[in-house]
Amino acid sequence: MDVRIGSVEDVRRDGCRVVEVDGRRVGVISVGDEFFAIADRCPHMGASICAGSLSGTFVPAGPHELVYGMEDRVIRCPWHGWEFDLESGRSLLEPKRVGLRTYRVTQRDGDVVLHT
């Protein structure tokens, strides 16, 4: 099913727009020219993940070296700080065990379209 979320300009201005699809809350997030869509429920305690912050994180590097990366690709839960990769939905702490459902998002005729 395709769901029109709004115009590209409006969704970009909002930064994150939460919609309900088949009884589930889905957050559509604008990052630069891209859009991502994730389930808006943290698997830890159920917080609205879209009420959290978007940032980067420290990425693997050499010994005694701190390298910041994934800028605007990490969404952090507002309650307990759990971090998730915005593109894959996987937890940064336990990627094989915990994650958020992701959805495909496209642009069509000036609108953002969520594919469920």
pLDDT in tens, the chain (116 residues): 899 999 999 999 999 999 999 999 999 999 999 999 999 999 999 999 999 999 999 888 999 999 999 999 999 999 999 999 999 999 999 999 999 999 999 999 999 999 98
Give residue limits of the domains in the chain: 2-115
Residue 29's H or E segment, with its range, is strand 24-31
- Sequence-ordered list of residues with C-beta below 8 angstroms from that of 47, at least 6 positions apart, any chain: 41, 77, 78, 79, 80
**Measured between alpha carbons, how far is 92 from 39 in angstroms, rounded to an integer?**
16
- CATH 2.40.320.10 fits domain 2-115: no
Asked if residues 84 and 38 have their Cβ atoms less than 8 Å apart, the reply is yes
Strand order across the beta sheet in which 53-59 lies: 53-59, 67-76, 83-85
Provide the 8-state DSSP code for 42: -
